[in-house]
Structure 1
Amino acid sequence: MKSNLAVDFSVDKDNRTITIKREFAAERALVWDAYTKAEILDQWWAPKPWKTRTKSMDFRDGGTWLYAMVGPKGEEHWSIVDYTKIDPKQSFSGLDAFTDSDGNINKEMPRSAWEVSFDEKGDHTHVKIIVSYDDLAQLEATLEMGFREGLLVAMENLDELLPTL
């Protein structure tokens, strides 16, 4: 299902950042929950036909989210988010990395810093995500892996899920 909600995906190679601005037809508290509760993230974070499966989540400053993207043939790609700062219902930030199923970081893969903020505009919520990389090669590798396409499709999953929550 394609959404008519505002979306902007931009890449700034000079500053090694990707900025995603996305509007959702739901109040901020609900969208916040969708980004911060494992039982909801597992329903939308992966682009179909992939699924997200959380192994553990401790959403607090210094906490982590360890999860797998599980493919249609059962293949698993593990990631971790190390939460660095949380301002409830306003924003959170963290470091994202590819890992094994035990959370050991794969240093051969890109690592990024995420800043995610939530702003309510009437009955809609605007989410802004800034993803930063230490070097341009990591940013480019992430884009080559289909980050843009995958994230935008996952956000469409959230569009479909929000009215049911």
Structure 2
Amino acid sequence: MNNLLFDFTVDKAANKVLISKEFAAELTLVWDAFTKQEILDQWWAPKPWESKTKNMNFKVGGKRFYAMVSPEGEESWSLQKYVSITPKTNFKMTNAFADKDENPELPGSDWDFNFSEENGITKVNIIITNESQERFEKMLEMGFRGGFTMTLNYLDTLLETLKK
């Protein structure tokens, strides 16, 4: 295994999750993995689930509407709305569970992604803030830590193949 940083901190008092992860890939490739539908759908779900985007428009005011789909076809929908984008350094979005018709289940959470590169290693810092303690607890109960850790590890593997 590599010696790249991976830190996952749950701050229950503040309803926040703080994630820092380094990838052995250039910034542009990692940025694309988080912002392009065709790459996101290859890793943004814990296996054996798959990510299937119905629509995505990565721009301020745009959104991504997608489902995590189980092997049995069960769909768990989410709606992400892009609040701000600073190319290759930061983007912010709101994220809410939703029904299949794009009706969000509020409250949601705010995600703040920060990207930086040093010596070919790209670091991504993610701050997830939940408006409500109830939603925060639900996210944790659903296995968010294990599931998101798994998906970030898939991204490691995917980046290796995309670099070739």
The answer to whether TM tops 0.5 is yes
Structure 2: stretches of 5+ with no match in the other structure = none
Give 1:129's aligned residue: 126
8 Å CA contact 1:3–1:156 kept in 2: the answer is no
Give 1:74's aligned residue: 73
- Seen in structure 2, the aligned counterparts of structure 1 residues 3 and 57 have a Cα distance that, compared at 3 Å, is farther
Residue 150 of structure 1: which of 141, 147, 150 is its match?
147
Aligned counterparts, 1:109-124, within 5 A: 111-124=108-121
Please state how far the C-alpha of 1:137 moved relative to its aligned partner: 2.1
Mapped to 2, the partners of 1:106 and 1:137 lie a distance apart of 13
Secondary structure of residue in 1 paired with 2:14? coil
Structure 1, residues 103-148: CA drift from partner, whole Å, max 9, x if none? 11123xx510000010102111000000001122221211111000
- Seen in structure 2, the aligned counterparts of structure 1 residues 24 and 140 have a Cα distance that, compared at 3 Å, is same
Mapped to 2, the partners of 1:97 and 1:64 lie a distance apart of 11
Mapped to 1, the partners of 2:22 and 2:14 lie a distance apart of 24
Q: Which is further off, 63-72 or 5-14?
A: 5-14
Secondary structure of residue in 1 paired with 2:45? coil
RMSD: 1.2
Secondary structure of residue in 1 paired with 2:104? coil
Please state how far the C-alpha of 1:79 moved relative to its aligned partner: 0.3
Q: AA paired with 1:87?
A: T
Structure 1: stretches of 5+ with no match in the other structure = none
- Seen in structure 2, the aligned counterparts of structure 1 residues 130 and 5 have a Cα distance that, compared at 3 Å, is same
Mapped to 2, the partners of 1:78 and 1:104 lie a distance apart of 10
Please state how far the C-alpha of 1:5 moved relative to its aligned partner: 2.3
Give 2:60's aligned residue: 61
Secondary structure of residue in 1 paired with 2:123? strand
Q: Which is further off, 5-14 or 52-61?
A: 5-14
Give 1:105's aligned residue: 104
Secondary structure of residue in 1 paired with 2:146? helix
Please state how far the C-alpha of 1:7 moved relative to its aligned partner: 0.6
Secondary structure of residue in 2 paired with 1:130? strand
Q: TM-score, normalised by structure 1?
A: 0.94
Q: AA paired with 1:140?
A: E
Aligned counterparts, 1:9-20, within 5 A: 9-20=8-19
Question: 1:140 aligned to 2:137?
Answer: yes
